[in-house]
Amino acid sequence: MAGIDGKVVAITGASSGIGEATALLLAERGARLVLGARHVDRLDDLARRIAVAGGEALSVQADVRRREDVAGLVGAATERFGRLDVLISNAGSMAVSRLDDLRVEDWDLMVDVNLRGVLNGIAAALPVFRRQGSGHFVHTASTAAHKVVATQAVYAATKTAVRALTEGLRQEAGPDLRVSLVSPGITHTDGVGAGGSPEVTAGLLAMRDAIAMPPAAVARAIAFAIEQPAGVDVGEIVIRPTAQG
């Protein structure tokens, strides 16, 4: 099944930023969407906007830290549409700080959302994809999986782990499933530095406002991976602003 038109796509972290932009682009190209995030009011608004534009989207409240919520998202897709073609694990936390600050709750949050959330997606969707004999995992990582900078040690560790996990999944997936990683650089979203230490967050926001690329740029990279023919697997796309070092 090549292209995007008609595919059933579930997206975590869909209420804003990269997830929202991806939902809008894929809906425009004919995908049927199941949107997951914690903030159901924003999800419902997004689903309405997609419907007004002639698309089809279902919103499901889902916290990726909860295995049962991600299973519910996948279950909603198969119940509503009879199948799931793509799971985009996009939810993330960038609550960054210096290690000396010992913000251990933020460390736990990043591990639980960025890594455990992806694992929960695999646990929910892999059996469905095996039964169907087809399916596509798309994971959002970061350029932090390639380059570690001060104040982002834990964030980079989680994204590096997602990169390793994605490659391991690709090797085990076999010829019928596809596995892709999209690693964005700094992107103009509300999630940049959210929940992190005020000093570090202020610096990141200044960088975001100066050089960040729009979420739509990342959405186009995700769409590129999805629209390839069934036998073509886009392993990883690294996308960043030209001004980012």
CA 225 to the chain's CA centroid: 13
Residue of 114, 155, 162, 237 marked active site: 155
Q: Is it the case that residue 7 has pLDDT exceeding 70? A: yes
Q: Domain 8-235 is in which class?
A: alpha beta
Res 133 pLDDT > 70: yes
Band of pLDDT at residue 56, cut at 50, 70 and 90:
very high
Q: Please compute the mean of the pLDDT values over residues 200-218 and round it to a whole number.
A: 97
155 is catalytic: yes
Q: How many alpha carbons fall within 13 Å on the CB side of residue 7? A: 26
Question: Does residue 50 carry a pLDDT above 80?
Answer: yes
- Band (pLDDT 50/70/90 cuts) for residue 245 is confident
Q: Each residue of 28-38: pLDDT tens digit?
A: 999 999 999 99
Reported as a pLDDT band with limits 50, 70 and 90, residue 1 is low
Global pTM reads 0.97
Q: Are 214 and 202 in contact (CB under 8 A)?
A: no
Domain ranges of the chain: 8-235
Cα separation, 83 vs 76, whole angstroms? 10
What's the rounded mean pLDDT across residues 217-240? 97
pLDDT value at position 73?
Answer: 98
C-alpha dist (Å) from residue 180 to 136, 195, 232: 8, 28, 11
Which helix (H) or strand (E) segment holds residue 21: the answer is helix 17-28
Comparing CA positions, the residue from 50, 78, 47, 81 lying closest to residue 61 is 47
Quick: pLDDT tens for 60-107: 999 999 999 999 999 999 999 999 999 999 999 999 999 999 999 999
Query: What's phi and psi for 229, nearest 5 deg?
Result: -60, 160
